[in-house]
Amino acid sequence: MLTSTKDFEDNEDIIKHNFLEYLKSDYPELTNDRTRKKVFSDARYLINNKDLHLDFFDIISGKIVIDEYRNKLIKRFEKSNQQEPNVRHANPISRANDYVVDLNRLKNYLIKADLLKI
């Protein structure tokens, strides 16, 4: 049972492996390994971006409302679009929504695997 972000990080390799298998069986529209790995990477984005000042475990456990995370992502992506006007990025709102969908997929897997209790 996960109780913190550190627990997740300590078990990340096995969680990643099992999550990718879960995606393969439960989300057949994610047709290749690269796409499934991107889902995992986007789902754990918060772990690598501590400057958003939100804790990964607090989000997946529901202690912090996921909309707060979405709003911070939108601001981050709007800023990156302004700083890199010549780089084509997805719409900040769509991009943030995609990250939240991927995080929810991971959360649902963790619940299904009895690794997260909410």
Predicted pLDDT of residue 86: 64
How is residue 55 written in tokens?
Answer: 């804790």
Question: Quick one: how far is CA 52 from the chain centroid?
Answer: 13
How is residue 2 written in tokens?
Answer: 């996960």
Q: Where are the domains of the chain?
A: 5-112
Q: Are 1 and 117 in contact (CB under 8 A)?
A: yes
Predicted pLDDT of residue 22: 97
pTM: predicted TM-score of the whole model, two decimal places: 0.91
pLDDT in tens, the chain (118 residues): 999 999 999 999 999 999 999 999 999 999 899 999 999 999 999 999 999 999 999 999 999 999 999 999 999 998 886 766 666 667 899 999 999 999 999 999 999 999 999 8
Predicted pLDDT of residue 82: 72
- Helix and strand totals (H; E) in the chain: 7, 0
Predicted pLDDT of residue 79: 87
